[in-house]
């Protein structure tokens, strides 16, 4: 089954069973469980003819499954129940173009309808209600690709009624009555202006102004059902985002929750009143704090029953039945049906049962010091039996305004099983750790943001986790950019790099952003560099790996989706052409039916098979036989097939 490459990494795990790529990255048996608001139905995602579709069954007879959708080419990325439990709604794009349309499947008849039948249109859900069951508010950019007009969508008839023609607003906030209450737009300073809406009229002057420094850590968190309380996650006048309740009649605010280490994150709300019952904070791991005693009692009971981490993924209107996800950390994810009244817990499904009993490894949490004293919350997984330095893969998250977290991680498990240590670092600019941490990354692409990754590598070497001459860098989107930076700005540090849909030229990246991102483009300019000023344009050039391609001396593998609307194919084409122009080898894998990442399992498995061979060639880990995975995918290899063993 395997063709191990001779090397330290392969030898280290030689006696550890190899986990097949299909078990890791193939379709789950089930995922995405939900319970209908009325508690009568269970729904989930499962493969049909190799493509993830939506299924459902009666709550009282969960084995009586019925397939509700017929996606054939791409997995359905997201679905949800209509508020009245009479229909399932889902969104789908074409070949990764991210022009998502909204579809409805009637539960009683199985009839399917496209509710937004427009070309080159991306739907947004603007508002939904707990009391109005037959309507939602949607945003559609079919009139102007830059702006989303707000429509009322009748879920029963499919009728669309224009609520607001939008020519200047980046977003809106609604209440439970589906009334537009706020309109938001970016201001000249790169922050956000929030204008109140009264009787459909938008105030000329903003009532709330969020400075650029607070713009990624301050936002409204929704109204109570009666509209009398507006919740905020707000970092203004402080560092981490705290949870506040504002009395809408008086504007008086009450501090509900804060944490000096990290922003307040998720909340649980009363299913009928919308009042917050519990809140969470995630620094290294997630902690829940309960306000409501009933919720606390239920969460405490679940904690006694379940190993590892867990959370509530779906609730009925009466809040008597929950679906609970459970991450055992060294076993595949599970979903349970929890009857709160009976205190009974029943296994609904295991996402990937083929991983039961597999040699999965625990994830470690670490705080890594950066050179300027900033603390970088990080996660490390080591191969089985590691007792000294091992080859390491530094996996860099995308965004960059996102974060890595703790828990079962397929990439970590895959690479650890192949003989590598795996390190994920929340570098400056990552979200969730307060605005100082985010803003420390402003205008620091390829600079201090990259220094954090370098410091993390040095830490791993100094701690005895990593072999200095066998460290790879890999990531998608911003992580792909970080890979290119690693191989151009610090060309001797990494043994090799894997860039997945990463930009190589920040100037052309900003020129080709999707039109619906344009209302927020000032944010990119302030955090990356402003191409409309000479100094900003020069900064973007200085931070673009394309201009340093001649410095690459380590092997590079690039993966790209041809339909990517965020990081165009031209970003990968440019760096490949530049390297070839300098006579530098590069391997380029292109998927004609993918966008920003590889969502078809056969494509993801094929690319990861290539990554395995690439890492084995350069770091000495083991590989699973390539088999027929390339033929099952749409992978094209325009350049560098000869540089990877097995291709």
- Measure Cα distances from 361 to 329, 382, 410, 474, 609 in Å: 8, 7, 11, 20, 21
Catalytic residue among 477, 504, 570, 572: 477
Give the rounded distance of the alpha carbon of 187 from its chain centre.
Answer: 27
Q: How far apart are CA 343 and CA 347, in angstroms?
A: 14
The alpha carbons of the chain give a radius of gyration, in whole angstroms, of 25
CB-based contacts of 15: which residues, under 8 Å, 6+ apart? none
Catalytic residue among 412, 450, 596, 599: 596
Q: Does residue 477 carry a catalytic annotation? A: yes
Among 9, 11, 17, 2, CA closest to 357: 17
Q: How far apart are CA 228 and CA 270, in angstroms?
A: 15
Tell me if residue 383 falls in helix, strand or coil.
coil
Give helix 448-462 / helix 478-489 axis angle, nearest 10°. Answer: 80
- Measure Cα distances from 87 to 84, 108, 135, 632 in Å: 8, 8, 12, 34
Maximum Cα interatomic distance, the chain, rounded to a whole number of Å: 72
With the CA atoms of 115, 119, 120 and 126 taken in that order, what torsion angle do they form, in degrees rounded to the nearest 10?
-20
Q: How far apart are CA 642 and CA 108, in angstroms?
A: 55
Q: What are phi and psi of 610, to 5 degrees?
A: -65, -40
Q: How far apart are CA 485 and CA 240, in angstroms?
A: 30
* Terminal C-alpha separation, the chain: 17
Q: Does residue 436 carry a catalytic annotation? A: no
DSSP 503-549: -S-HHHHHHT--GGGGGGHHHHHHHH--TTSHHHHHHHHHT-GGGGG
Token pair of 540 as six digits: 């973007």
- Measure Cα distances from 161 to 40, 164, 166, 626, 631 in Å: 31, 9, 14, 53, 47
Q: Give the Cβ contact number of residue 584 at 10 Å.
A: 18
Look up residue 284 and give its DSSP letter.
S
Among 620, 615, 644, 623, CA closest to 7: 620
Helices and strands counted in the chain (H then E): 13, 37
Bridging pattern class, strands 321-327 and 334-339: antiparallel
Strands across the sheet containing 321-327? 309-315, 321-327, 334-339, 344-350
Using a CB cutoff of 8 Å and minimum separation of 24, what contacts does 228-235 make?
229/275, 231/267, 231/276, 233/263, 233/264, 235/263, 235/434, 235/435
Catalytic residue among 451, 455, 499, 564: 564
Q: Does residue 327 carry a catalytic annotation? A: no
Q: How far apart are CA 394 and CA 380, in angstroms?
A: 9
CB 388 within 8 A of CB 467: no
CB-based contacts of 546: which residues, under 8 Å, 6+ apart? 504, 505, 574, 575, 578
Q: How far apart are CA 305 and CA 473, in angstroms?
A: 39
- Measure Cα distances from 169 to 165, 356, 450, 501, 522 in Å: 10, 49, 34, 29, 14
Catalytic site positions: 477, 564, 596
């Amino acid at each position: 089954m395997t063709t191990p490459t001779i090397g330290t990494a392969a030898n280290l795990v030689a006696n550890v069973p190899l986990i097949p790529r299909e078990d890791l990255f193939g379709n789950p048996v089930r995922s995405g469980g939900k319970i209908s608001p009325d508690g009568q139905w269970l729904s989930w995602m499962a493969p049909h003819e190799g493509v993830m579709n939506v299924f459902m069954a009666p709550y009282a007879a969960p084995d009586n499954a019925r397939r509700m959708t017929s996606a054939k080419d791409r997995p359905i990325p997201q679905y949800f129940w209509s508020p009245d439990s009479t229909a399932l709604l889902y969104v789908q794009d074409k070949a990764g173009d991210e022009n998502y349309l909204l579809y409805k499947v009637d539960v009683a008849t199985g009839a399917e309808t496209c509710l937004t039948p427009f070309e080159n249109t991306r739907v947004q859900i603007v508002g939904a209600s707990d009391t109005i069951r037959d309507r939602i508010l949607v945003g559609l950019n079919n009139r102007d690709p830059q702006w989303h007009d707000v429509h009322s969508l009748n879920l029963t008839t499919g009728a669309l009624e224009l609520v607001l023609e939008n020519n200047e607003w980046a977003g809106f906030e609604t209440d439970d009555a589906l009334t537009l209450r706020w309109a938001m737009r970016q201001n000249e300073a790169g922050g956000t202006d929030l204008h109140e809406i009264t009787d459909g009229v938008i105030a000329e002057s903003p009532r709330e102004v969020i400075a650029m420094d607070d713009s990624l850590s301050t936002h409204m968190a929704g109204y109570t059902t009666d509209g009398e309380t507006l919740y905020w996650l707000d970092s203004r006048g402080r560092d981490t985002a705290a949870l506040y309740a504002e009395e809408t009649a008086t504007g008086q605010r009450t501090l509900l929750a804060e944490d000096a280490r990290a922003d307040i994150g998720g909340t649980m709300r009363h299913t009928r009143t919308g009042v917050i019952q519990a809140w969470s904070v995630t620094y290294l791991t997630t902690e829940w704090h309960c306000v409501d005693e009933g919720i606390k009692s239920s969460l405490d009971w679940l904690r006694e029953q379940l190993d590892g981490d867990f959370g509530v993924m779906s609730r009925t209107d009466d809040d008597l039945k929950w679906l609970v996800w459970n991450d055992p950390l060294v076993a595949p994810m599970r979903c349970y049906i929890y009857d709160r009244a009976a205190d009974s817990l029943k296994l609904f499904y295991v996402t990937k049962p083929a991983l039961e009993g597999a040699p999965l490894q625990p994830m470690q949490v670490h705080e890594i010091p950066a050179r300027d004293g900033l603390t970088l919350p990080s996660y490390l997984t080591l191969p089985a039996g590691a007792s000294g330095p091992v080859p390491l893969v530094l996996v860099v998250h995308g965004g960059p305004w996102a974060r890595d977290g703790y828990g079962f991680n397929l990439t970590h498990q895959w690479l650890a099983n192949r003989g590598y240590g795996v390190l994920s670092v929340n570098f400056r600019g990552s979200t969730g750790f307060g605005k100082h941490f985010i803003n420390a990354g402003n205008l620091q692409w390829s600079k201090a943001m990259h220094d954090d990754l370098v410091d993390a590598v040095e830490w791993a070497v100094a701690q005895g986790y990593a072999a200095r001459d066998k460290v790879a860098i890999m990531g998608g989107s911003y992580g792909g950019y970080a890979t290119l930076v690693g191989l151009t700005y610090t060309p001797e540090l990494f043994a090799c790099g894997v860039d997945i849909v990463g930009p190589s030229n920040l100037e052309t990246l900003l020129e080709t952003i999707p039109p619906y991102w344009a209302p927020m483009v000032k944010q990119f300019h302030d955090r990356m560099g402003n191409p409309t000023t000479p100094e900003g344009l020069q900064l973007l050039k200085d931070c673009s790996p394309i201009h340093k391609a001649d410095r690459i001396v380590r092997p590079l593998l690039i993966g790209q989706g041809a339909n990517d609307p965020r990081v165009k194919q031209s970003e990968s084409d440019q760096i490949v052409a530049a390297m070839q122009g300098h006579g530098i080898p590069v391997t380029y894998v292109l998927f004609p039916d993918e966008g920003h990442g590889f969502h078809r399992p056969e494509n993801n498995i094929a690319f990861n098979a290539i990554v395995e061979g690439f890492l084995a060639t350069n770091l000495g880990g083991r590989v699973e036989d390539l088999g027929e995975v390339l033929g099952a995918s749409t992978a094209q290899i325009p350049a560098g097939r000869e540089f990877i063993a097995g291709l």
